[in-house]
Structure 1
Amino acid sequence: MSQRLRPVSPIWVAGRPQHGEEEFFVSHPYDDSPVGATSWATAGQVEAAVAAATGAAAESAALPAHVRAEALEHVRRRLDEEAETTAELITAESGKPIAWARVEVDRAVSTFRWAAEEARRFTGDVQRLDTDPNAEGRMALVRRFARGPVLGITPFNFPLNLVAHKMAPAIAAGCPVVLKPAPATPLSALHLGALLSETELPAGMVSVLPVPNERAGQLVEDPRLPVVSFTGSARVGARIRRVVPEKHVVLELGGNAAALVTADYPDRDWAAERIAMFGNYQAGQSCIAVQRVFIEAGAYADMARRITDRVRALVSGDPTDPACKVGPMISAEAAERVESWIGEAVEGGAKVLCGGGPRKGASLEPTVLTDVRADARVLREEVFGPVLVLRSVRDFEAGLDAINDSRYGLQAGVFTESLPQAMRAHRELEVGGVVIGDVPSFRADQMPYGGVKASGVGREGVRSTMDDYTVERVLILPDTL
């Protein structure tokens, strides 16, 4: 597969393009061909970015809402204008099929649009206080104020939209942001940095710094960055919480998302199609990709056949092919890990319903397993690869218990048309979101999004992130003013 090698992308230090001393190539996961290059930020450039963010904090917090909103609108317009070339960039650096890359660009456009709107309506509340005798004659004005500079750390699987979810709410809330993209996929984040440099925001308000993961700890621990927003592994997230307990930390740490199919759900074709597709989209490299599938016993044999047939029909291969739905994983090492987990499950007695063949570089066949032991890693941990595990459950209650039998709790999907079952799932499932009649992979970019247990703390979704990036402050006034 031929690729057009792009010019060396500058890094963005306090809104200005610079180059570090050490350049590195970004390679296409499908065939390992170089698709672009940038440079690692030097220690001096990191210091300059953090100092500039600190220096710009007061000015950023005081920016009028219309200035913040117009900057965000500018990025929305420019992303919309460059949608196809941006999607091609996402595919080139992440291996994401172009069809899914286009969806990601559309979502990033929406994220910046929502942020522009929220910047304009991010206001306070007035509370009456004369509900008690000792507060007669007083009222309270409750407003939110920026906590200060934000450190955003993003993963490789959504190299544009997850960057947008760190940067856009920070700008909308008046917080400078220092963004560290994933080393495997820095180009999309640097592209956003270029678009933001075209705005009238204070220079120190935005920096995008490729930094090796082993140097990220210095940024996390820097006291001048009071907010840390991290999306990535539970192991790293837990370490961040231990290292900086005094900071405000927002963590989106993934999961092993489950879907439950009830025996009387009428549209089994829909359920099978959605489970098959969203167990394998992003090559399974999404924290809400379907991993565990629990099916009531009366529907198990039929649903297992339907799901397996649809997984077999998924088109995989060259991610630049518009028909491709399952591309490569981010690296051969990542694919090798998932391949080994499948092998462990099979050695423990699991049955392969489809897939399971040897990997080719970073590409792995979409795989469906059943009869998996309860302690198998493909069931207990986050696979983050194209693997579905099917299990039969006795009834609805047993299905809810099976979903909750996990150290993770991000989102769950329940295929039911029963309102009482939907309300019970909402009440009892230990997750951040319950999706009725669909897979757990659904996400709207304006909704509160996040998890419980090992899946993290805090919420993304533009307004929810703005709340996390700001602190509530009360002004008590006499009501006679």
Structure 2
Amino acid sequence: MSLESRTQTIGQTLLAATHPGRSFLAQMREPWDEKLLAWTMEHPGLRTQMFRLIDTLPFLSGSGEISRHIQEYLHQPGVELPGMLKNLLNFTGRESLTAQVAAQTLTTAVSTLARKYIVGENFSQVRQTLERLGRQGMTFTLDILGEAVLSESEAQGYFQKYIDLMTQLAPVDWGCVPQVSVKLSAFYSQFDPLAEKTTRTQVTQAITQLLQRAGELGVAVHFDMEQYKYKNITLAILKDVLLSDEFRSRTDVGLTVQAYLQESEADVREILAWVKLRGVPVTLRLVKGAYWDQEVILAQQKHWPLPVYRRKSSTDANYEKLTRLLLENHPFIYPAIGSHNVRSQAHALAIAEELSISPNAWESQVLYGMAAGLAKALVAQGQPVRMYCPYGELLPGMSYLIRRLLENTANTSFLRQRLEKENELELLTPPQWAEPTTPLPQGETFMGTADTNFAQMGTADEFLQAIVRVKLQLGHSYFLPHCSRERTLDSVNPSDPKESIGRVGLADISSVQKAMDCAQEAQKIWGSTPIAIRVNLLQQIADTLQMQRSEWVAWMVLEVGKPIREADAEVSEAIDFCRYYSEMAEGLHPGYTYDVLGETNRYVYQPKGIGVVIAPWNYPLAISVGMITAGLVTGNCVLYKPAEQSAVIGCKISELISNLISDLGLPQGVFQGLPGWGEEIGPELVRHPAVHFITFTGSRQVGCQIYAQAAQMSPGQRHLKRVVAEMGGKNAIIVDASADLDQAVQGVVQSAFGYAGQKCSACARVIVLAAIYEPFLERLRTATQSLTIGCATDPATTIGPVIDATAQERLQKNITLAKQRLTVALESAAPTSGYFVGPVIFTDVPPDDPLAQEELFGPVLAVLRVADFDQALQVANGTDYALTGGLYSRTPSHIHRAMQEYICGNLYINRGITGALVGRQPFGGFRCSGVGSKAGGPDYLLQFVEPKVVTENIQRQGFAPVAEEL
């Protein structure tokens, strides 16, 4: 009999043994938890909203809040409600009896659902379940829910839970070796493939201790696989640990492979080669994968290649291919085939039979609550079965529950198809390879540049090697045209101020005039240069930046102390500005035509004239390149003054663009770099009568001075100057009572302390509702305490130095003053060499306190307590600024209100508030945060052109060229 025939025979036997025994409609008469699942399968809109509601439920206190959220989630356009559910939701008043019944019904249904997928909330419950499984002839592996860790104290707590669990498992006679399943990322809160060395050290230490204790207790340990970004480093760590002398002989350990990953076959073959080298078998669990949606979304957002197969049928086909590969190598590994798909398990049984593999040489695995009937049927076939058993409280288990509900109710779910298919034998159809050859459809009109994917092992090495190369170039001198060789500025490394980055010749007032003279001559040529040449210039800048990515990252790491990942993202942003503004300029160039019979009307754009770009140090490449290229591509000559603290990078930008302009045969005056002291040459640049516009990013104080100076007419000036200024903010994130605290804490920490809080969009205030204030604050404190402070050259660094001694002294002074009147929740120690300031968190800060009103530009966070959402919005809007804002909430009405009422230029909901992307999140604010349109947006270039209408009467003696054609 062929393999497929045998698969069909075994599959039919398993299907018959696992028949649900009732129709799909019959299930509708079952308890509420089964009704909910049935309804979500029938109504896609309800499915989405119901699962969002369930995700929120554990965070809601009281029936009033629950009933309110029930109505807000389910009374939405596009949500089709079954009649029974409509009746249940037909209530008014959150505290009415009907509302309380609705709240209680949903809570009970969700708790019942959770218990179907979770073996217990304490060890007593777990033991009863496991003993029942044992009586049914099954073994188990236990997984503790809630492994997401944000701090080292949480990581240690996770570790200790497993030690305690193994200690409880060990004395019991289970009739088998007890097993636990763990995830490596939960052992270290800063788990990061970029920081490979540190991550390896920390995680290796933890799992070494875990394996030692497990060996003492006689408990087996299996290592789960998580998101794709962790795969390579997870496998690398496990291979090293299990190849060590201490653990090389252990057979009670296992690894996991996910069949939905396109790299999975290569991973299996590498693991097999490693196991053969090791000489002692390990368990290799084959699963299909639980994070498909997340992987697709992340790859799309990041413009990375898709790591997973696009079609479930392709995953299933790959799964069967890998099943054979594992079973063929059973002398070297112990295969564990994890699936609740009858076809998949039948196919594995057929292969094992064909290869004459003993049932004791491999096992089947199923998830608790997903396929109990299949598990029993497999046991009846004489097949060893292990049940994957999550346990823990409902709150940390909610994300697991949602994944299971999504899996059960998805269109391609085996369990759902079984309920809906009239002919069950269709479920045994061999899976077909069905991967599309066309690219994924793009939801955005502008395709941004992909950041480096540090999930690929060894990727960081390219940047570390670039840092070494750039260090050999430190200390050089840079003298741009018109700049002095006698008056210089020394730029230093803020991580190590003894290290000179370079010496830069400075421009003075006479330099400005010389540059203006060159620009005025060049403007006549550049203003009439064809758009194709201007666009080509920007494309060449972008291509050069892409080719030199690692070197630009190295320069930013060294001169402005920006950590590697953030510097890498900045290179991408600079490239995106070039390419986005190229597209926008090409769209503007044709203008508009408004012709009528006998008359032509042309609406066209022409350059404004000479522009001045005054750039900041915190984004020395991206913002500089963005402001420069916006002026150039619209036909304006540009004079560029980089910040003093990033003068070397400024010179390198100037050299790059000037060389490309020279290669085009254009005059030097089209673009000129003028490094110098801001207080000396800044006013001269702004006031000069030849200047038509000033683009500035920096402090509010300097921005307001520029705005005032530009408004003054100078002798010989025939135009009003345009000022485009971004001047910072006092950005706030509101954390609502219904927020996902895992997301909120992580987002606030990243937004407040990324690049040492030195981003225009950084979170300076977090406004927390009183109901969750204490738990949020504690997790925020411990998460911040776990951040790594150090030199930017270290990939493990999350917080580098502040920019210079002046910034350090200013921050230290303000922190000292604030400590005299406010409570400090955390003040982290910082290295004493270099310009370091450790993160500081102040609590219960009054809304009118200077710490809640004045921009500090550093790693200092004010936490404010508010009574309700109304007060939260009032406090958030209660500053002079309106740049960025954030909200963590799962209350639909609060999200809607924030969209309408939160006063800010960029509002981010349920994500961090930094990292705006060109063409996707155009960036800029209003009030005292700035003036002008948003950088990286569709109307940004309009600020650098003058619109002009040309109307021509084309009649001659009463006729027009088109008249005869009518």
Q: What is the distance in 2 between the residues matched to 1:229 and 1:278?
A: 26
**Partner residue in 1 for 2:656:** 195
Residue of structure 2 aligned with 1:27, choices 492, 501, 505: 492
Q: Once the 2 structures are TM-superposed, how far is the Cα of residue 179 of structure 1 from its aligned partner?
A: 0.5
Residue of structure 2 aligned with 1:112, choices 570, 578, 588: 578
Residue deviations 1:203-258, cap 9 Å, x none? 21101111111211111100111101111111111111222214111110001111
Q: Once the 2 structures are TM-superposed, how far is the Cα of residue 124 of structure 1 from its aligned partner?
A: 4.9
Residue of structure 2 aligned with 1:73, choices 510, 535, 539: 539
CA contact under 8 A between 1:345 and 1:376: conserved in structure 2? no
CA contact under 8 A between 1:449 and 1:461: conserved in structure 2? yes
**Partner residue in 1 for 2:504:** 38
**TM-aligned CA distance change 1:259 to 1:12, over 3 Å:** farther
**Partner residue in 2 for 1:207:** 672
**Structure with more of its chain in helix, by fraction:** 2
Matched, 1:398 2:864: no
Q: What is the distance in 2 between the residues matched to 1:448 and 1:140?
A: 32
CA contact under 8 A between 1:435 and 1:442: conserved in structure 2? no
**TM-aligned CA distance change 1:36 to 1:236, over 3 Å:** same
AA paired with 2:626? H
SS at match of 1:280: helix
**Partner residue in 1 for 2:790:** 317
Q: Once the 2 structures are TM-superposed, how far is the Cα of residue 125 of structure 1 from its aligned partner?
A: 5.0
**TM-aligned CA distance change 1:124 to 1:428, over 3 Å:** farther
**Partner residue in 2 for 1:294:** 767
**Partner residue in 2 for 1:473:** 948
**Partner residue in 2 for 1:233:** 699
AA paired with 1:257? N
**Partner residue in 2 for 1:413:** 886
**Partner residue in 1 for 2:8:** none
Where do 1:347-366 residues align within 5 Å? 347-348=820-821, 350-355=822-827, 357=829, 360=832, 361-366=834-839
**TM-aligned CA distance change 1:356 to 1:173, over 3 Å:** same
Residue deviations 1:160-219, cap 9 Å, x none? 111012111111111111000111111212212222123224421101111111211111
* TM-score relative to the length of structure 2: 0.47
CA contact under 8 A between 1:412 and 1:439: conserved in structure 2? no
**Partner residue in 1 for 2:723:** 249
AA paired with 1:248? R
Q: What is the distance in 1 between the residues matched to 2:848 and 2:738?
A: 30
**Partner residue in 1 for 2:479:** 10
Matched, 1:157 2:615: no
CA contact under 8 A between 2:683 and 2:709: conserved in structure 1? no
**Partner residue in 2 for 1:454:** 928
**Partner residue in 1 for 2:461:** none
**TM-aligned CA distance change 1:306 to 1:12, over 3 Å:** farther
Q: What is the distance in 1 between the residues matched to 2:867 and 2:601?
A: 54
Q: Once the 2 structures are TM-superposed, how far is the Cα of residue 104 of structure 1 from its aligned partner?
A: 1.2
Q: What is the distance in 1 between the residues matched to 2:576 and 2:475?
A: 27
**TM-aligned CA distance change 1:460 to 1:203, over 3 Å:** farther
CA contact under 8 A between 1:344 and 1:376: conserved in structure 2? no
Q: Once the 2 structures are TM-superposed, how far is the Cα of residue 431 of structure 1 from its aligned partner?
A: 1.6
CA contact under 8 A between 1:12 and 1:190: conserved in structure 2? no
Which sections of structure 1, spanning at least 5 residues, go unmatched? 131-135
The alignment's C-alpha RMSD in Å is: 2.3
Q: Once the 2 structures are TM-superposed, how far is the Cα of residue 24 of structure 1 from its aligned partner?
A: 2.6
Q: What is the distance in 1 between the residues matched to 2:528 and 2:779?
A: 57
Q: Once the 2 structures are TM-superposed, how far is the Cα of residue 23 of structure 1 from its aligned partner?
A: 2.6
Q: What is the distance in 1 between the residues matched to 2:866 and 2:659?
A: 55
**Partner residue in 2 for 1:167:** 628
Q: Once the 2 structures are TM-superposed, how far is the Cα of residue 323 of structure 1 from its aligned partner?
A: 1.1
Residue deviations 1:131-156, cap 9 Å, x none? xxxxx976643222211111010111
Which sections of structure 2, spanning at least 5 residues, go unmatched? 1-466, 712-719, 955-959, 962-966
Q: What is the distance in 2 between the residues matched to 1:289 and 1:244?
A: 28
**Partner residue in 1 for 2:638:** 177
**TM-aligned CA distance change 1:179 to 1:10, over 3 Å:** same
Where do 1:403-442 residues align within 5 Å? 403-442=876-915
CA contact under 8 A between 1:99 and 1:324: conserved in structure 2? no
CA contact under 8 A between 2:885 and 2:907: conserved in structure 1? yes
Q: Once the 2 structures are TM-superposed, how far is the Cα of residue 289 of structure 1 from its aligned partner?
A: 0.4
SS at match of 1:24: strand
AA paired with 2:942? D
Matched, 1:370 2:843: yes
CA contact under 8 A between 2:594 and 2:602: conserved in structure 1? no
Q: Name the larger-Rg structure.
A: 2
Q: What is the distance in 2 between the residues matched to 1:320 and 1:170?
A: 33
Matched, 1:58 2:524: yes
Matched, 1:282 2:751: no
Range moving further from structure 2, 172-181 or 463-472: 463-472
Q: Once the 2 structures are TM-superposed, how far is the Cα of residue 27 of structure 1 from its aligned partner?
A: 0.6
Q: What is the distance in 2 between the residues matched to 1:81 and 1:121?
A: 27
Q: What is the distance in 1 between the residues matched to 2:689 and 2:547?
A: 38
Q: What is the distance in 2 between the residues matched to 1:399 and 1:477?
A: 58
Q: Once the 2 structures are TM-superposed, how far is the Cα of residue 477 of structure 1 from its aligned partner?
A: 5.0
Q: Once the 2 structures are TM-superposed, how far is the Cα of residue 37 of structure 1 from its aligned partner?
A: 1.5
AA paired with 2:827? G
Residue of structure 2 aligned with 1:330, choices 781, 803, 816: 803
AA paired with 1:112? C
Identity value in percent = 27
Q: What is the distance in 2 between the residues matched to 1:359 and 1:141?
A: 63
**TM-aligned CA distance change 1:311 to 1:52, over 3 Å:** same
CA contact under 8 A between 1:416 and 1:437: conserved in structure 2? yes
AA paired with 1:471? E
Q: What is the distance in 2 between the residues matched to 1:426 and 1:56?
A: 46
Q: Once the 2 structures are TM-superposed, how far is the Cα of residue 41 of structure 1 from its aligned partner?
A: 1.8
Q: Once the 2 structures are TM-superposed, how far is the Cα of residue 21 of structure 1 from its aligned partner?
A: 3.2
Q: Once the 2 structures are TM-superposed, how far is the Cα of residue 88 of structure 1 from its aligned partner?
A: 0.9
**Structure with more of its chain in strand, by fraction:** 1
**Partner residue in 2 for 1:133:** none
AA paired with 2:791? D
CA contact under 8 A between 2:827 and 2:838: conserved in structure 1? yes
Range moving further from structure 2, 425-434 or 310-319: 425-434
CA contact under 8 A between 1:274 and 1:439: conserved in structure 2? yes
Q: Once the 2 structures are TM-superposed, how far is the Cα of residue 19 of structure 1 from its aligned partner?
A: 5.6
Where do 1:257-268 residues align within 5 Å? 257-265=731-739, 267-268=740-741
Q: What is the distance in 2 between the residues matched to 1:424 and 1:415?
A: 13
Residue of structure 2 aligned with 1:93, choices 528, 542, 559: 559
Q: What is the distance in 2 between the residues matched to 1:421 and 1:185?
A: 42
Q: What is the distance in 2 between the residues matched to 1:138 and 1:394?
A: 65
**TM-aligned CA distance change 1:344 to 1:174, over 3 Å:** same
**Partner residue in 1 for 2:279:** none
CA contact under 8 A between 1:328 and 1:364: conserved in structure 2? yes
SS at match of 2:556: helix
SS at match of 1:207: strand
CA contact under 8 A between 2:789 and 2:831: conserved in structure 1? no
**TM-aligned CA distance change 1:98 to 1:428, over 3 Å:** same
Q: What is the distance in 2 between the residues matched to 1:48 and 1:454?
A: 34
SS at match of 2:676: coil
Residue of structure 1 aligned with 2:606, choices 118, 140, 145: 145
Q: Once the 2 structures are TM-superposed, how far is the Cα of residue 427 of structure 1 from its aligned partner?
A: 2.2
* TM-score relative to the length of structure 1: 0.91
